[in-house]
A and B are shown apart, each in its own frame.
Chain A
Amino acid sequence: MAETERAEYHVVVIGAGPSGLAAAAEAAAGGLRVALLDQNARVGGAYWRHSPAHLDDTAGVALHHDWTTFRRLLARLDGVDVRTEHTVWGLEGLDGGFRVRASSGEVSRVPVVLDTASVVVATGTHDRVSPFPGWTLPGVLGAGGGQALLKGTLLPPGSRVALAGSGPLLLVVADGLLRSGVEVVAVAEAGHPMAYGLHPGAWSGLTARSREAVSYAATLARHRVPYLAGHRIEAAHGTDRVERVTFATRRGRTRGYVIDALLVSDGFTPQLELLLQVEPDTRIDGDGSLVVMVDQQQRTSVPGLLATGEVTGVGGASLALLEGFVAGRSLSGRSVDPAVLRRIGVHRRFAGTMHAVHRPRTEWSDSLPDDELVCRCEEVTAGEVRAACRDLGVDDARGAKLMTRAGMGLCQGRVCGRAVADLVASTSGAGPGPGEAARAGYRHPAFPVPLSVLAGDALHGTHGQG
């Protein structure tokens, strides 16, 4: 059994995306001893995911935004203990601080215990994908996931790709695929983006952002990619992999495409699992996500616990970067320019508009066939969850989990938590809040860890520096 590794810091930052990088760099610049942890092999998060072979290569750089910002942040990590390939699975309060438990190395799995005065949680999001017929077929990926594959390796997820769901990410990913020479057959947006016109003030102060949106639209037009507003996924078809997708309008008009990959995003799921272990105050955001509440210095209701980026409300990389900057400054006792705080306000307002325009699909829970899976890990069908509601009186996600094992598998409800809650609500009529879904999905440890890591921790964990 690998021996537990231990260390102490002033600040442990969890997640090395834009906000985690900014927080770590600022805190270190303020003289603090800082560790920056990420489960990936390289820093950058999903936004700046890259292959080292492509760090200076034009094909790689062309897929990225704000690449110079990333390079500048990298140059400021000299004083930071950067710990990549660290999967953090435990966070607990200590007297005057926190204990962070991680597993180092996806294969070697060395137990790591870090004690720290403060923690910044910057764990970001993953794609939300609401179930539809055929959604578990290989070749159906989260849209952000497909983008991660492309950015990280320059490998496209397929050669004939359709994108579907709702939100600006679909356009960003389509743009990246087209630039990489991939055929994009269609982008199906469930919402009606013309609704942005109902919120004219939202774009003010965000000229870079609106320029970006225009450039994505132009790329789609240049490649003659159909942009299907008001279309949802009817079904993905295939036997051992996705071969075709059909989209439908609310009025039942359908379109079909032959594909070898379908990238889906119904918004995002902020990764709150670690935060919930120390119970800070939370709220439900405009997109229905459970998020953590923070003050203007990114502090949660738990002293010493800060949160930045998407876990405080999905709002994109620019906002995340600013929040990380503020967290790093406030931890090291330095002031923040009020202009930065105003800028955060501008981004937050825009995020609110985005949530209103791209409401996630909800009609799926009534139309999903009984034999389709809701929970991928435990292979629980919609019919089993509905039967539990009807026959066993289940009326919340927790009950569904106990009775059907939905959400009890390896992903710990990360993928299906919200979907199960929606399905239970629509079947039982009892309607739990969406926050309930995230809580039902949460369980200690925050990631599956092998018994050797837990055992190593139990043997050495409570006896000081080993």
Chain B
Amino acid sequence: MSEDAGFALRVDGAEVSAYDGDTIAAVLVRSGRVSWRRTRVGERPRGLFCVVGACQDCLVTVDGVTGVRACLAPAVAGAEVATSASSPTTPRGSMPGHGGARHG
């Protein structure tokens, strides 16, 4: 049943397969990734932690929208997913109440 339900999306420009019901996190894990973001201060690698939408560790950019929780967002055919595994991200920039820099 799941075998014929595959569709394609892109992760960091490369085409990958996904299946009906996949979250973006599932697609990333299936591709062998264990982390796909680096923290802003220590550039520490992060991937899944809580897997239920609470911890905000697994954030990715989808179709240009930043701060998307990969563990919740469904994989959609044709979506452009961008990880930031090699460079630090500043996801707080788009959020209310996160205006100040940490050491500012």
Cβ of B96 within 8 Å of any chain A Cβ, yes or no, is yes
Cβ of A144 within 8 Å of any chain B Cβ, yes or no, is yes
Contact A241 B35 (CB under 8 A): yes
Interface residues of A in 1-60 (CB under 8 A from B): 39-42, 46, 50-54, 56-57
The size class of the interface chain B forms with chain A is: 35 or more
Which of chain B's residues have a CB closer than 8 A to the CB of A92?
none
Contact B35 A240 (CB under 8 A): yes
Can you list, as one digit per residue, whether each of B25-44 has a CB less than 8 Å from chain A (1) or not (0)? 11001100011000111101
Which of chain B's residues have a CB closer than 8 A to the CB of A148?
51-52, 71
The answer to whether A379 and B39 touch (CB under 8 A), given A107-B65, A449-B96, is yes
Cβ of A185 within 8 Å of any chain B Cβ, yes or no, is no
A40 to B74, CA, bound (A): 9
The distance from the CB of B30 to the nearest CB of chain A, in whole angstroms, is 6
Among B59, B73, B96, B102: residue with most chain A CB under 10 A: B96
Contact B26 A153 (CB under 8 A): yes
Contact A411 B96 (CB under 8 A): no
Which of chain B's residues have a CB closer than 8 A to the CB of A138?
34-35, 45-48
B21 interface neighbour in A144, A153, A240, Cβ under 8 Å: A153
Contact B55 A53 (CB under 8 A): no
Among A40, A107, A450: residue with most chain B CB under 10 A: A107
Contact B26 A411 (CB under 8 A): no
Contact A448 B44 (CB under 8 A): no
Contact A141 B49 (CB under 8 A): yes
The distance from the CB of B8 to the nearest CB of chain A, in whole angstroms, is 16
A42 to B21, CA, bound (A): 9
Can you list, as one digit per residue, whether each of A426-466 has a CB less than 8 Å from chain B (1) or not (0)? 00000000000000000101011111001000000000000
Residue on A nearest B53 in the bound complex, by CB:
A39
The answer to whether A379 and B49 touch (CB under 8 A), given A41-B23, A153-B22, A451-B96, is no
Which of chain A's residues have a CB closer than 8 A to the CB of B83?
none
Contact B1 A57 (CB under 8 A): yes
Question: Could you tell me the dominant secondary structure of chain A's interface residues?
Answer: loop
Which of chain B's residues have a CB closer than 8 A to the CB of A157?
29, 48
The size class of the interface chain A forms with chain B is: 35 or more
Residue on A nearest B64 in the bound complex, by CB:
A107
A52 to B40, CA, bound (A): 36
Cβ of A414 within 8 Å of any chain B Cβ, yes or no, is yes
A449 to B67, CA, bound (A): 9
Residue on A nearest B39 in the bound complex, by CB:
A379
Contact B92 A41 (CB under 8 A): no
Cβ of A355 within 8 Å of any chain B Cβ, yes or no, is no
Contact B54 A415 (CB under 8 A): yes
Contact B44 A379 (CB under 8 A): yes
Residue on B nearest A109 in the bound complex, by CB:
B65
Which of chain A's residues have a CB closer than 8 A to the CB of B74?
41, 85, 106
A172 to B5, CA, bound (A): 30
The distance from the CB of A68 to the nearest CB of chain B, in whole angstroms, is 20
A46 to B53, CA, bound (A): 11
Cβ of A300 within 8 Å of any chain B Cβ, yes or no, is no
Which of chain A's residues have a CB closer than 8 A to the CB of B42?
379
Which of chain A's residues have a CB closer than 8 A to the CB of B95?
410, 448-451
A410 to B63, CA, bound (A): 21
Contact B54 A411 (CB under 8 A): yes
Contact B2 A51 (CB under 8 A): yes
Q: Can you list 15 A-B contacts with CB-CB less than 8 angstroms, sorted by A residue number? A: A40-B53, A41-B23, A51-B21, A53-B19, A106-B74, A107-B63, A107-B65, A138-B35, A149-B26, A152-B21, A379-B41, A411-B55, A415-B55, A448-B56, A448-B67
Interface residues of chain B, those whose CB is within 8 Å of chain A, are 1-2, 5, 19-23, 25-26, 29-30, 34-35, 39-42, 44-57, 59, 62-63, 65, 67-69, 71-74, 76, 79, 91-92, 94-98, 102
Interface residues of chain A, those whose CB is within 8 Å of chain B, are 39-42, 46, 50-54, 56-57, 85, 87, 106-107, 109, 126-127, 136, 138-142, 144-146, 148-149, 152-153, 155, 157, 240-241, 260, 271, 376-379, 405, 409-411, 414-415, 443, 445, 447-451, 454
The 5 A-B residue pairs with the shortest CB-CB distance, nearest first, are: A145-B51, A51-B21, A53-B2, A138-B35, A410-B56
